[in-house]
Amino acid sequence: MQSCLPDIKGIIISDYCKGMITRALIRKVLALAGSRIFIAADPKIGHFDYYRGVSLITPNINEASFGSGIDIMDDKTLYAAGRRLLKKLQCRSVIITRGDEGMTLFENGGRATHIPTCAREVYDVSGAGDTVIAALTLSHCAGASLKEAADVANHAAGVVVGKIGTAAATQQEVMESMRACKPPVP
């Protein structure tokens, strides 16, 4: 990994609770990457404390409830959970994915931004979280702000849930989604 660090702009850590992702591994990645490399993590229940200091975490609403210790039931508890995760994990940003309610971006030192979904038929949510973190990291590392990258990720996830089985969103499909349904990003 060290030999390719000069060429890396982003690292994605997707934790499936299978034993591959450990606290020691995350510490090593953070130490090697420094502050120059954007590190996005999709944490799982029981592993939130591993991710202290990463650039971004992308829990779903259930994972965020567990990780923050706040039962997310409405906007007030959602915002409290997002702020607590930012503080607890000392990361720069948190995106809580909320299924058909879109996602909410919490930035350190900033306010929360809700990114709504576009109305569409959902066939299969398999891979939606992986799509979010991949599209967001790619967009952000290519120069998009976190809000812009979250909008791209939201559209990409919308494309994949409209397909049966684990699927990928093409650049053309994401662009078509963005043209057809452009929810405002504050």
Question: What is the three-state SS of 26-70?
Answer: HHHHHHHHCCCCEEEEECCCCCHHHHCCCCEECCEHHHHHHHHCC
Q: At residue 186, does pLDDT exceed 90? A: no
pLDDT in tens, 7-39: 899 999 998 888 889 999 999 999 999 888 999
Locate the domains of the chain by residue range. Answer: 2-180
Q: What is the pTM of this model?
A: 0.89
Nearest Cα to Cα of residue 149 among 99, 107, 111:
107
Which pLDDT score, from 0 to 100, does residue 124 have? 59
Most confident of 75-79, 127-131, 181-185: 75-79
> Under a CB-based contact definition with an 8 Å cutoff, are residues 137 and 12 in contact?
yes
Distances (CA, A) of 45 to 67, 115, 136, 163: 7, 24, 21, 27
What pLDDT is recorded for position 129? Answer: 85
Angle separating helix axes 61-68 and 75-89, nearest 10 degrees: 60
What is the rounded distance in angstroms from the CA atom of residue 136 to the CA atom of residue 113? Answer: 15
Share of the chain above pLDDT 90, in %: 60
Set 15, 42, 130, 151: catalytic member: 130
Rounded to an integer, what distance in angstroms lies between the CA atom of residue 48 and that of residue 78? 17
2-180, CATH topology level: UDP-N-acetylmuramoyl-L-alanine:D-glutamate ligase (3.40.1190)
CA 2 to each of CA 8, 36, 49, 137: distance values in angstroms, whole numbers, following the listed order: 10, 14, 25, 20
- Whether residue 130 lies in the annotated active site: yes
Query: Is pLDDT above 80 for 126?
Result: no
Kindly report the average pLDDT of the chain as a whole number.
Answer: 89
The C-alpha atoms of residue 37 and residue 55 are separated, in whole angstroms, by 9
Q: How confident is the model at residue 146 (pLDDT cuts 50, 70, 90)?
A: very high
> What pLDDT shows up at residue 109?
82
Tell me the pLDDT band of 93, cut-offs 50, 70 and 90: very high
Q: Does the structure show a pLDDT above 60 at 183?
A: no
Q: What is the pLDDT of residues 46-91, one digit of tens each?
A: 889 999 999 999 999 999 999 999 999 999 999 999 999 999 999 9
Helices and strands of the chain, counted as H and E runs: 6, 6
